[in-house]
Structure 1
Amino acid sequence: MDKSTLIELSEDRTNGQTKFFQAVSNSTGAISAFIPAVLLIAGEIKGDKPMVQKALYIGESIAVSSVITWGLKYSINRPRPAAQYPGEIAAASTGGSPSFPSGHTSLAFSTATALYMAWPKWYIGVPAFTWAGLVSYSRMDLGVHYPSDILAGAVVGVGSAWLTYKANEWIRRKHTTKNPMTALR
């Protein structure tokens, strides 16, 4: 299924479509860096401590996702589709690291999930997850990732954001609850 999906996508690819999906794909790093940076700066300027904490959480989620993704990429070391099936799958872009999981997808879904968890509103979630979905699809359309790479990247991205959120909750609870032993003194 992985191979046949990519062959079909590359056969139907148009020049305009390739340019669009390359732009979407290229937006991943910039948008994922821009969102927490702008939120952090705005929170500091406004003196809005919750916004600063949310910006840091989004940045932490992205970092956790990146570490897990890179660890998996080099542990599994799956070749890119065009390298594994030369002549059958045409890549319209390049990728510099192993294929599994998709780093762009992991980054986009980590960013979208963390942003939505920080501000759980439909008008945040819909554009964030639409963008993450477009990034994911672009990686397949460009022929640089298999569908299974995309699925794994989405799971890593969403999972990283969720785990980071839960870790931050646990840390906050631990710092806000008083030690019961000190109350006895």
Structure 2
Amino acid sequence: MSKIICLFLFLFCFSISNAQNSDIDLLEKINLNRNTNIEPLMKGVTNSTFAISIGTPVIIYAVGLIEKDSTTKKKAVFVGETLAASAFITLVLKNSIKRDRPYVTYPEIDNVTNESSYSFPSGHTSAAFATATSLSMAYPKWYVIAPSFLWAGAVGYSRMYLGVHYPTDVLAGAIVGSGSAFLCYKLNKWINKKRAPHQKKLWE
């Protein structure tokens, strides 16, 4: 039995080690072989994250106020709730896992900027995908969905390009952001159903 346990622990550690190696290998390919001509663009994409994520529900709510449209205001609140939920989950995970930034563990990574928080998951990616997913759910039109996720994907890529996140940080951030949107949607739908049993959709 002890031999089986030792074998299991060995295989587990080996798989974790391989995953870590794949993570840093992919990051090195993105970061060390990057096209420096688009560096200002990547910085701009990263810096746009919180302005767009916070500004989106604010603008939608303002439109709802001007037009006196309660449905539009509900959509704005939903987008805002999703952003808040993703930020909370991200903060909890960061301070629970406490993963160092890749440029701290691997000095060869050329980080264009420094970050003070922990690495896992990517907060920028989480916020971007929370905004993109909730906005796409509130306005399920191709001309909303396509640019929203194109921007969110660019944010995730920019974090690796700038050398401040591992690919798994970005993947986890995307899952947290999108998952927060679905969680908030289901929660709102459940609450609205309790208040109005015959209500079919969140926005109606």
TM-score tier, shorter chain, comes to over 0.9
Q: In 1, Cα distance between the equivalents of 2:194 and 2:57? A: 25
**1:18 Cα deviation (Å)?**
1.5
What is the DSSP-based 3-state SS (H/G/I as helix, E as strand, rest coil) of the residue aligned with 1:23?
helix
**1:92 Cα deviation (Å)?**
1.1
Q: Where does the alignment leave 5 or more consecutive residues of structure 1 unmatched?
A: 179-185
Partner of 1:182: none
Q: Which structure's relative contact order is higher, taking Cα pairs within 8 Å and 6+ residues apart? A: 1
Q: In 2, Cα distance between the equivalents of 1:14 and 1:94? A: 20
What is the DSSP-based 3-state SS (H/G/I as helix, E as strand, rest coil) of the residue aligned with 1:165?
helix
Matches within 5 A, 1:1-185: 1-86=22-107, 88-177=108-197
1:22–1:93 contact (8 Å) kept in structure 2: no
What is the DSSP-based 3-state SS (H/G/I as helix, E as strand, rest coil) of the residue aligned with 1:99?
coil
**1:14 Cα deviation (Å)?**
3.3
Percent identity for Structure 1 against Structure 2: 49
Q: In 2, Cα distance between the equivalents of 1:12 and 1:24? A: 19
**1:172 Cα deviation (Å)?**
0.7
Q: In 2, Cα distance between the equivalents of 1:25 and 1:10? A: 15
**1:89 Cα deviation (Å)?**
1.1
Q: In 2, Cα distance between the equivalents of 1:93 and 1:83? A: 12
**1:11 Cα deviation (Å)?**
2.2
1:62–1:111 contact (8 Å) kept in structure 2: yes
RMSD: 1.1
**1:107 Cα deviation (Å)?**
0.2
Partner of 1:183: none
What is the DSSP-based 3-state SS (H/G/I as helix, E as strand, rest coil) of the residue aligned with 1:26?
helix
1:24–1:135 contact (8 Å) kept in structure 2: yes
**1:96 Cα deviation (Å)?**
1.8
What is the DSSP-based 3-state SS (H/G/I as helix, E as strand, rest coil) of the residue aligned with 1:145?
coil
What is the DSSP-based 3-state SS (H/G/I as helix, E as strand, rest coil) of the residue aligned with 1:151?
helix
Q: In 1, Cα distance between the equivalents of 2:124 and 2:54? A: 13
1:66–1:107 contact (8 Å) kept in structure 2: yes
Moved more, 149-158 or 88-97: 88-97
Q: Where does the alignment leave 5 or more consecutive residues of structure 2 unmatched?
A: 1-21, 199-204
**1:13 Cα deviation (Å)?**
2.3
**1:65 Cα deviation (Å)?**
0.3
Question: Deviating runs (4+, > 4 A) in structure 1?
Answer: none
Q: In 1, Cα distance between the equivalents of 2:36 and 2:197? A: 59
Instruction: Give the TM-score normalised by the residue count of structure 2.
Output: 0.85
Q: In 1, Cα distance between the equivalents of 2:31 and 2:185? A: 38
What is the DSSP-based 3-state SS (H/G/I as helix, E as strand, rest coil) of the residue aligned with 1:93?
coil
Alpha-carbon deviations, 1:7-27, whole Å to 9, x = none?
222222233221111100000
